[in-house]
Structures are given as C-alpha cells and as structure tokens.
C-alpha cells in the first residue's frame, strides 16, 4: 500500500505530540479493512520515531447497533487485550469508547488515542499545545467547582451541583501513561451530582442534534427536575422527533441528564454538518468541539464512572449560551470570556 505523504506527515506530528519515543511499542488496533491506510501510516510514523509498531487487526463480528456502547470485537479476546495492555500506546480505530476493556488497558498504563475521523477533519482540527493548556485549565476549574450554571436568551436556565463525578479532558493527543484521548477534539466535561441538576434547557435553531446529524429548526423546551428530563415541549417538528426517538428506547434512563462541558477548539466548525452530514465516515467531533458551545447531553454516564448505560445517547451542542462556575464567567453568549481559556489573537 502506498502511503500518502500528507497523511504520514500529519500522523508523525501527532505521534510527536504524544511523545512517542524510541524503544516504545505502539499498537494500531483496527477492524477488518477499516482505516487500513491510517494503520499503515501510523505504523510508518511510529517506526520513523524509533518505536516498534504493529497492527492488531480484529474481526467485527456482529455490527454494533447505533449508539450501543461497550460492545466491540475485544470482548472475550483475552490475548488481544493482554497485548494492548503491554503496549506503551494504542491507536484505537475500533471504538473501545467507555468499555470495561478500555478501562483495563488504561489501568495498565497504556495511553490510548482514538482516531476515527476522515483525513480532512484530522487536518482541520489538528491539536496544539495551546489547546491542551486551555482544555486542561477547564478541567482544573471544573474539578474545583461546586456549581455550574448556564443560561441563554432563548430561555435556558440550568443549575448543576458538582463534585460527585470526575472530569475528563479531550484535546486530541495524549502523552501521559494510562490517559485516553480522541483525535480530534477540544473540550472538558463532567456530570452533575445524582439528583442535583435542575432547570430548563431551550434548544434554539442552530443548536445540534448529533444523533440525527442535523440542526435544530424549531424551539425545544426540556424541563429538568432532579437530573431527569420530565417534560419535552415545543411547537415544531424537533420536539416531536426528540420525544419519539427517546420513547422508542423504552428506557426511563434515556431521560437522564448526562455530561456537561464546553467547547474550546477554535478550529472546529459549527457549520460542518451542513456540508458533510451525508458522509457516513464523518462523526460529530466538529459539533462537540466548536469554540464556545455548551455541550449538553442526555443518556449514559458510564464514561464518568456512573451506572447509566442506556443505549439512548444524545449530545446536544448549544450556541449562544452563557456559563458560570461558582459565579465565575466562563462563556458569555457563546463566546469564551475567561482569559485562561480564551484564544489569544
């Protein structure tokens, strides 16, 4: 297979950010013929940095149902799991996200980078050390905060009590043992305390329904009591779509409020879906990461150590919101105002 020079340069720059060293072992985990060109390019990039590298290729078996997490080709494959645990770094192109197996690999000290976006997105949102600094700052603020509040002129007013759950940072590379990240990304998030999330979310036109890869066209009002959505209303199609989709899981835990955070990647584009939503390979990283969005979400919280593993997962990036941590302004009407997280011109 001929390796694309631009891809090789990009992946070499990525592995340098990850501080891949001579003598380390990097395993590229892939399934069947998916991302075969990425696998070759990552192995070549690793070898150029003096690392040992090989491709662990597994079969998918039954395909994951959309949105179902924690089931993937490593389940029951002990030898593959032990191999990944013995590596210094794993490039995950299978999607281990939130699984027990991923936690086990991390606990063994292996750093993991998930890579499952097309090349043009990897280029467009390529991480920087400054993005890392700003995202890690967001994480540290969230770790110390007791209360998060966010509002919007559309009518949103939500309050989360914090402290029960950990905080996760994602900035698009990883150079610390046992740390997971997703290339590309750019946000930090946590979860409100059980039963201590209350208020109203008003999704406004232009906010994003990631599960549908589409923009909200008509107002949706979600009333939240004690961490659960208790009412969905709105005068247009979007409220009906959301209600119908969530009802269809026949799982009350679908209505739980999940992670909360904000986007900090100034290279990510809010409008991206309008140009590429037909591309099956393109995921939601632009939508989750764009600068100044409030990433409100519903459904599972196992990634934060919670027990809700419902298959109904709704990420709902919102524009034009203001957000405070313990009264300290972080976002003002969709713009990052905190000096430590604001992009300096």
Order of strands, sheet of 52-58, starting from the edge strand that comes earlier in the sequence: 52-58, 25-31, 89-92, 111-115, 180-183
Determine contact, residues 243/225, Cβ cutoff 8 Å: no
Three-state SS for 299?
A: coil
Cis bond before residue 175 (omega within 30° of 0) = no
Kindly state the smallest distance separating residue 15's Cβ from Fe ion, in Å: 27
Token pair, residue 301, equals 């919280």
Q: Least distance to Fe ion from the beta carbon of 261, Å?
A: 10
| CB-nearer residue toward Fe ion: 73 or 317 | 317
Which two three-digit tokens encode residue 198? 């209350």
Q: How far is the CB of 313 from Fe ion (least distance, A)?
A: 6
Does residue 60 contact residue 33 with C-beta atoms inside 8 Å? no
Query: Please, which residue, 170 or 315, has the CB nearer to Fe ion?
Result: 315
- CB 274, min distance to Fe ion, A: 21
Nearest to 337 by CA among 59, 138, 193: 138
Nearer to Fe ion, 40 or 297 (CB): 297
Q: Tokens at residue 231, please?
A: 């009412």
Please tell me the total number of residues recorded for the chain in this structure: 345
Of 106 and 297, the one with the shorter C-beta distance to Fe ion is 297
Question: Per the structure block, which two tokens stand in for 134?
Answer: 């700003």
43 versus 288: smaller Cβ distance to Fe ion: 288
| Spatial contact of 324 and 150, defined as CB atoms under 8 Å apart | yes
Report, in Å, the least distance between residue 49 CB and Fe ion. 33
| The token pair that represents 227 in the structure block | 């961490």
- Select 41 or 314, whichever has its Cβ closest to Fe ion: 314
Q: Which is nearer to Fe ion, 28 or 312 (CB)?
A: 312
- The answer to whether 108 and 178 have CB atoms below 8 angstroms apart is yes
- Provide the sign of the torsion angle of the four alpha carbons 97, 102, 103, 108, taken in this order: negative
User: What does the binding site for Fe ion look like in residue numbers (CB under 5 A)?
Assistant: 297, 315
Using CA atoms, how far residue 226 sits from 199, 234, 249, in Å, is 9, 21, 21
Q: CA-CA distance, 114 to 35, in Å (whole number)?
A: 12
Nearer to Fe ion, 198 or 315 (CB): 315
Residue 192 beta carbon to Fe ion: minimum distance, rounded to whole angstroms: 14
CB of 135 to Fe ion, least distance (A): 16
Rounded least distance, CB 36 to Fe ion, Å: 28
Give CA angle at 88 (82, 89), nearest 5°: 95
């Amino acid at each position: 297979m001929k390796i694309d020079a631009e891809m090789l340069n990009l992946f070499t720059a990525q592995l340098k950010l990850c501080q891949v060293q001579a003598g380390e072992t990097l395993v590229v985990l892939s399934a069947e013929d998916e991302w075969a060109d990425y696998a070759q390019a990552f192995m070549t990039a690793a070898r150029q940095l003096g690392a040992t590298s090989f491709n662990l290729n597994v079969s998918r078996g039954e395909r994951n149902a959309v949105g179902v997490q924690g089931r993937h080709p490593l389940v029951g494959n002990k030898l593959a799991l032990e191999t990944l645990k013995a590596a210094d770094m794993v490039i995950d192109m299978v999607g281990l996200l939130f699984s027990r197996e991923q936690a086990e690999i991390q606990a063994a000290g292996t750093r993991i980078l998930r890579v499952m976006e097309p090349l043009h997105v990897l280029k467009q949102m390529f991480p920087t050390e400054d993005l890392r600094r700003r995202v890690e700052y967001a994480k540290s603020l969230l770790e110390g905060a007791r209360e998060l509040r966010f509002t919007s002129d559309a009518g949103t007013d939500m309050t989360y009590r914090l402290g029960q759950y950990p905080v996760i940072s994602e900035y698009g590379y990883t150079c610390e043992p046992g740390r997971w990240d997703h290339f590309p990304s750019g946000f930090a998030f946590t979860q409100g305390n059980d039963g201590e999330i209350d208020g109203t979310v008003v999704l406004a036109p232009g906010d994003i329904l990631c599960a549908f890869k589409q923009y909200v066209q008509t107002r949706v009002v979600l009333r939240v009591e004690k961490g659960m959505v208790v009412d969905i209303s709105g005068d247009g199609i979007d409220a009906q779509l959301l209600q119908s989709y969530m009802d269809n899981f026949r799982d009350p835990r679908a209505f739980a409020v999940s992670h909360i955070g904000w986007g900090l990647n100034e290279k990510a584009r809010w409008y991206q879906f309008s140009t590429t939503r037909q591309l099956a390979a393109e995921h939601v990283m632009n939508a989750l990461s764009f600068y100044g969005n409030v990433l409100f979400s519903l459904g599972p919280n196992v990634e934060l150590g919670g027990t809700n593993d419902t298959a109904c997962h709704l990420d709902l990036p919102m524009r034009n919101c203001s957000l405070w941590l313990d009264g300290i302004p972080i976002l003002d009407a969709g713009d990052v105002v905190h000096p430590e997280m604001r992009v300096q011109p």
